[in-house]
Amino acid sequence: MLISMVARAFVISILIATTCISFQWMLGDFYGERIALSIEQWGKDRSSPSESVLTDHLEFSKQSIKWSPSNPRYKELRARLLIMQAAYLSGNQEVFSSLEQMLDLHREAIQERPQWPFSWANLVVVKGLKQEVDDEYRQALYNAMSYGPYEAGAIQRIARSTANNWDLMDAEEENLIYRAIANGVQIDSRLARNLKKY
């Protein structure tokens, strides 16, 4: 009888722990998916959120990370919102602080999924915004191209960043970018239209 009670208590404690963990993931997903859908919609509409909507979504991103801290996707989404927020910031110190937060979030996401090309591409973008074309920038560029040479989104992000810092690239890096863009255009011809701007 004592063994039966201990077994029941053990099963109940496992069920409670599993329920709590599932609830945390569910809350993280609730906030995270809301952000992802909004970012996707803003991209489709070619619009930007108002400052108040952006502030709300930044708060949602804090909640998604709070409830699911090991999910790198939520860190990436928060960093993308911070990029949007930088457009509203007035002082150089505020922009610099926001860029530093973005770098930290992308670095954390890369630690959690080191072969995800978008994380590397986003790191290239943020380093490019800071005009930090250093060893970390170059490594991020190579990794983004190595892990996702056919990912149109990664190629677009890199094309934007490298266009702004082209004069800081060496010949090997320029060739890497040319090859990646050529591969991407072969896979998806729409990429060529999107890259005409750069």
Instruction: Give the pLDDT of residue 114.
Output: 92
> Residue 70 carries which side chain, given as an amino acid letter?
S
Q: How many residues does the chain have?
A: 198
Asked whether residue 177 is assigned to any structural domain, the reply reads yes
Running along the chain, 198 residues long, what does each successive block of 10 average in pLDDT? 70 71 66 84 82 88 84 86 74 75 91 90 87 89 80 75 81 82 72 62
CA distance 96 to 34: 27
Asked whether residue 192 is assigned to any structural domain, the reply reads yes
Instruction: Give the pLDDT of residue 21.
Output: 64
Residue 102 and residue 82 in contact, taking contact as beta carbons nearer than 8 Å: yes
Q: Collapsing DSSP states into helix, strand and coil, what is residue 70?
A: coil
Task: Tell me which residue has tokens 């991103």.
Answer: 61
Q: How many domains does the chain have?
A: 2
CA distance 198 to 187: 19
Q: Find the domain containing 183 and state its range.
A: 114-198
Instruction: Give the pLDDT of residue 23.
Output: 62
> Residue 14 carries which side chain, given as an amino acid letter?
I
Asked whether residue 170 is assigned to any structural domain, the reply reads yes
**What would the DSSP string read from start to end of 48-62?**
---HHHHHHHHHHHH
CB-neighbour burial class of residue 194 (10 A; exposed 0-12, middle 13-18, buried 19+): middle
Quote the tokens at residue 167.
Answer: 């004069």
Quote the tokens at residue 50.
Answer: 């108002």
Instruction: Give the pLDDT of residue 28.
Output: 64
Shared domain for 174 and 118, answered yes or no, is yes
Crossing angle of the two packed helices 92-112 and 72-86, in degrees rounded to 10: 160
Asked whether residue 47 is assigned to any structural domain, the reply reads yes
Asked whether residue 100 is assigned to any structural domain, the reply reads no
Asked whether residue 43 is assigned to any structural domain, the reply reads yes
Instruction: Give the pLDDT of residue 41.
Output: 86
**CATH code where residue 193 lies:** 1.25.40
